[in-house]
Amino acid sequence: MNDAKNYLDGLSYEQQQLLLTDLTDYAVKKAKGKRWRTGNYLNLPNGETPDSIVSLAIIKVITGERVWNSERQPDFKKYLFDVIDSLLSHLAMSKDNAIFVNEKRDAAFLVVAEQEAILAKKKFYSEDADWLVRKQSSPEQELLERQEQAEEELKRREEHELNCRILQSLRERIGTDADLVAVVDAADHGFTKSVDVAKFTGIDIKRIYDANKRLKRVVARVRKQFDI
């Protein structure tokens, strides 16, 4: 039985919206505390955003890729927080968020480049320190900032609406599947290879292959439906 699906089925539309808001706020807060090559915690590597991380976390839980056990952890939102933490940590450690240097020549080049950049900054700061003065925004600038904030809020609401529709589509497509539940439970215990999953669950390996295929097809249909 999919505890997450049953829990979400019991929420009203307003409760779903509130949950999504809390999850997004949490993702933004956690992303802000990490270092990103993009230099912007709202524009993450690999084309991700805090909102897309929340969507991915919900998809993983509702499809059973990450299994929530209501008896072991009654707080569903806290469990989703943990999933979001995990996704952000993996993204922060991903190749798309790092620079890899394999040769000593390349390493030396990067060191020299960094030193030159530091010297250039020092020269600029010594010649012109006006950038240190915080200038007051003009009325036109303040109006532009308010417009940008309103546009961001509208975008956030639209993304929340999309997340709700994705969630509803997954509910309609995912049914009770004992083999699939067993597969994701094995993954939750660290078993991801089909051979190891078969040993852990006691299910024939062919059924394990079939369960993985069903999961991929469901997720693929949802992604195609919403062009994600």
pLDDT of 93 reads 85
pLDDT at 113: 44
As a whole number of angstroms, the distance between CA 198 and CA 66 comes to 18
Contact partners, residue 36, CB within 8 Å, separation at least 6: 44, 45, 92, 97
CB 76 within 8 A of CB 68: yes
CA dist 97 to 35, 44, 48, 151, 187, Å? 9, 9, 11, 28, 26
Segment 63-80 shows an average pLDDT of 88
More confident residue, 143 or 38: 38
How high does pLDDT run on average in the chain?
Answer: 75
Q: Terminal CA-to-CA distance of the chain, rounded, Å?
A: 27
**Average pLDDT over every residue of 217-227:** 78
Averaged pLDDT, 154-165: 76
Spatial separation of the C-alpha atoms in residues 89 and 86, rounded to whole Å = 5
Give yes or no for residue 138 having a pLDDT over 70: no
- Residue 184: predicted pLDDT: 64
Give the dihedral sign, CA 144/150/153/158.
negative
Q: Looking at residues 212-226, what average pLDDT do you find?
A: 78
Predicted confidence (pLDDT) per residue in 163-188, tens digit: 777 766 765 766 677 786 777 667 65
Domain limits, the chain: 3-98+164-175, 177-228
Structure tokens given for 92: 């922060």
pLDDT of residue 117: 46
DSSP for the chain, written as a single string: --HHHHHHHTS-HHHHHHHHHHHHHHHHHHHHTS--TTS-TTS-GGG--HHHHHHHHHHHHHTTSS---TTT---HHHHHHHHHHHHHHHHHTSGGG-----SHHHHHHHHHHHHHHHHHHHHHHHH--GGGS-PPPPHHHHHHHHHHHHHHHHHHHHHHHHHHHHHHHHHHH----HHHHHHHHHHHTT--SHHHHHHHH---HHHHHHHHHHHHHHHHHHHHHHT-
pLDDT of 28 over the 90 cut: yes
**Percent of residues, the chain, with pLDDT higher than 90:** 14
pLDDT digit string, tens, across residues 95-113: 777 644 333 434 444 444 4
For residues 83 and 93, the model is more confident at: 83
The residue with greater pLDDT, 168 or 22, is 22
- For the segment 2-13, the average pLDDT, to the nearest whole number, is 83
Residue 107: the pLDDT is 43
pTM of the full structure? 0.46
